[in-house]
Structure 1
Amino acid sequence: MARHRSSLVPLASAYAALVAYASLYPFTDWQVPGVSPWAFITLPWPRWWTTFDLVSNLLGYMPLGGLLCGALLRSGAHRVAAVLLATALGALLSGTLEVLQNYLPSRVPSNVDWGLNTLGTLAGALFVLLLAALGWMGRWQTLRDRWFIPQSAGGLALLLLWPAALLFPTPVPLGLGHVALRLHELLQQWLIDTPLEAWALQLEPPGFEVLTPGYELITVAMGLMAPCLLAFTVSPPTWRRGLLVLGAVVLGLAATTLSTTLNFGPSHATAWVTQSAPLGWVVGAGAALVLVFVPPRLGAAIGALLIAAMMVLVNAAPADPYFASSLQGWEQGRFIRFHGLAQWVGWLWPYVALAYLLARVLSRSPRPQ
């Protein structure tokens, strides 16, 4: 198989990093264990376990196995070698994290988790191998060549991560990158017992200005336009961009509704629909359609400006009681295992997208035909 620069490489790297975060969260009270770090390997079957634990450990590593195997296949590796190497990398990652959990009092290393993670990696790799055997890898390459420019791996990875980023609660629909309040809290913690402690404690936390309906509308519109303009930078200016806008609308609606369902229950799945949100969706989609035929570099410049403005408005949004309740449910309740995965994608997506778009603006690569 010919070698291709694949978007699966950054996706696999990002997923591995997020798995590591979720496995080692909350990164506090590190201490040397009283037993060998390898002692967990020979432990008997745990006395207490749940079906959810088994299934989540198995399923959690399946995407990693699939991404690794797909990236290896697209790089030209033999199919058997790709499956074996992907499984070995997943097992190495899981084993390393289990060893590190010895040093965290809040985490318990488990040979069962290690085994299930390895099996999950193997299952994901075999699934992608099946897709390759059925010809789906070749079909995807043909589709990608038709819809996107050659140097599009990073942009496609960001586009695929966008719906996942929306699963973490946001103060405004589609309003990713809400980090100001967390940075304020971290700054106060870091400056405790320093000469700047009094100054830090007097700092007003951000997010106390209530967004007017007009500003909320603008924020939602820019939140939808962000992935659309990102897509425009990796796709030729043709009618197909209109379908990419439609895809962003559908995925955004689905991810936002799913996030609300996870937080408040199925009966409140549309609780995100406020006075301004639907109109913001319409305005964002309409504006993106108007820009369908802009050159990729100009689209990148407009997208960078929109994302920067969106982040300013998002970080000025108040931390209302419902938003705070959502965060508490994710961080302390039933979503704790997926906390790190969704949280970091939701926090970092617009900042990484902004850096990517700025790199596109400054790039001297020839204009795609």
Structure 2
Amino acid sequence: MTAASSSKPPLTVPAASSFARVSLLVYTLLIVYASWYPFSGWRDMGLGPFDYLWSRLPYYWTGFDIWTNIAGYAPLGMLLVFAMHPRIAPAWAIWPATAAGILLSACMEAVQTYLPTRVPSNLDLLTNSAGAFAGALLGAACSRYFLRESRFLSMRRRWFSGEASRGLVVAGLWPLALIYPQNHLFGLGHLVPPLLTFFSDLLDTPIDLATTWINNAQLSAEQYWLADVIVTACGLTGAALLLLMLLRKQAPRRALVMFYLLGCIAVKSLACALFFAPQNAFVWVSASSAGGIVIGAMMVTGLSFAPPTAQRRLAALALIISLAVTNAVPANPYYISTLETWVQGKFLNFDGAAQFLSVLWPFLAIWFLYHPVHRKQK
């Protein structure tokens, strides 16, 4: 070996994107849950699971159905391309990403054969496949901005810790988890409604949310108010501290957290306007929720000076308290009436995914905060 050759810097292999792979896993779970929601009334009609492939195209369909199917699978195709980097170049990853999207959609439609509220459709398979292909094309076209050297990646390295990818996925899911109506503003992880649905289907006996023993407990207005303040303050504190512990010291930490919280509130308001009525955009605003936001903001401001280890532990504690109070306090009548007016209709798939995410998020966040690998955030 010559001196000239020994002086050459070693070749570096591009790193895989943990953010893309974790996002792909979470998004795939959301598709599965949305496709099979509400997971009840399973039956065998004597049809093969893939008979829909050879059926005639549906007589009744709308442009809305077409575009929502395409839009639903486009992020999947994009994430598949990103997740295959660097093993497969983005231009070549288009084809396995599209094939994976087609296979997933075919399986989702096949299982719908056994669900009474769902109808397997070869048109859905075609549009979902088109969405996966379009997303894969977009992912390949945008790969140089997300997978290679770019201003976006440079900013990511300056502001966030090296192991922040999984935490960014969890933090990014919080505003989406807030879309589904909650008993409290930030009261995620409400297990009672989905558990009642599960046992109702298992026992073949309808169980009304408003008549169960856990909801028959009577609390005074002051107790409801206090519970709402606690859940709102702890939920906000847990999410904000989770984001704070991912940021480096040189990052504009307080500005980013403020922007993050304002963005979450904007998403919540937009969802209320879309799924209820435009005049109900701020229906979530109440004296107790406003008080919880103020207390939570004060807690986050003070804890922003704490070391990352303390922030991680306090974030987990705040989320555990919020989770415990959310499930211990009986649902108020306003929450029950809100669920009754929640518009599903054409958004049935979205409704299932939104509910699943609202229940899953605090457990996902607590797992992230306590997992040994994730304690190394600096």
- For the aligned pair, the TM-score class normalised by the smaller chain equals 0.7 to 0.9
Structure 1 stretch 203-212 or stretch 283-292: which is displaced more? 203-212
CA contact (8 A) 2:94 2:136 kept: yes
Q: What amino acid does structure 2 have at the position aligned with 1:278?
A: A
Q: What amino acid does structure 2 have at the position aligned with 1:162?
A: W
- In structure 1, the partner of 2:137 is 126
- In structure 1, the partner of 2:67 is 55
CA contact (8 A) 2:175 2:264 kept: yes
CA distance in structure 2 between the aligned counterparts of 1:191 and 1:31, rounded to whole angstroms = 15
1:151–1:54 Cα change, 3 Å:
same
Q: Does residue 321 in structure 1 map to residue 346 in structure 2? A: no
How far does residue 111 in structure 1 lie from its aligned partner after superposition? Answer: 1.1
Equivalent residues, number: 358
Q: Does residue 146 in structure 1 map to residue 172 in structure 2? A: no
Match of 2:237 among 225, 231, 244: 225
Residues 192-250 of structure 1 show CA distances to partners (whole Å, capped at 9, x for unaligned) of: 89xxxxxxx99544775354434422322222112211112322344522123112221
- Aligned to 2:301, the other structure's residue is in SS state helix
1:153–1:48 Cα change, 3 Å:
same
- In structure 1, the partner of 2:79 is 67
- In structure 1, the partner of 2:123 is 112
CA distance in structure 2 between the aligned counterparts of 1:17 and 1:338, rounded to whole angstroms = 13
1:112–1:202 Cα change, 3 Å:
closer
Match of 1:259 among 246, 268, 271: 271
Residues 148-181 of structure 1 show CA distances to partners (whole Å, capped at 9, x for unaligned) of: 1122222111011111101101111122111135
CA distance in structure 1 between the aligned counterparts of 2:79 and 2:216, rounded to whole angstroms = 38
Match of 1:341 among 353, 357, 375: 353
Q: What amino acid does structure 1 have at the position aligned with 2:135?
A: G
CA distance in structure 2 between the aligned counterparts of 1:365 and 1:25, rounded to whole angstroms = 35
1:77–1:364 Cα change, 3 Å:
closer
Note the residue ranges of structure 1 that are not aligned, 5 or more in a row: 194-200
Match of 1:95 among 80, 102, 106: 106
- In structure 1, the partner of 2:182 is 170
1:191–1:340 Cα change, 3 Å:
closer
Percent of aligned pairs with the same residue? Answer: 33
- In structure 2, the partner of 1:304 is 316
Q: What amino acid does structure 2 have at the position aligned with 1:152?
A: A
CA distance in structure 1 between the aligned counterparts of 2:180 and 2:374, rounded to whole angstroms = 36
Mapping of 1:350-369 within 5 angstroms? 350-359=362-371, 362=372, 368=378
CA distance in structure 2 between the aligned counterparts of 1:123 and 1:313, rounded to whole angstroms = 44
Q: What amino acid does structure 2 have at the position aligned with 1:57?
A: N
Note the residue ranges of structure 2 that are not aligned, 5 or more in a row: 1-12, 206-210
- In structure 2, the partner of 1:245 is 257
CA distance in structure 2 between the aligned counterparts of 1:181 and 1:35, rounded to whole angstroms = 32
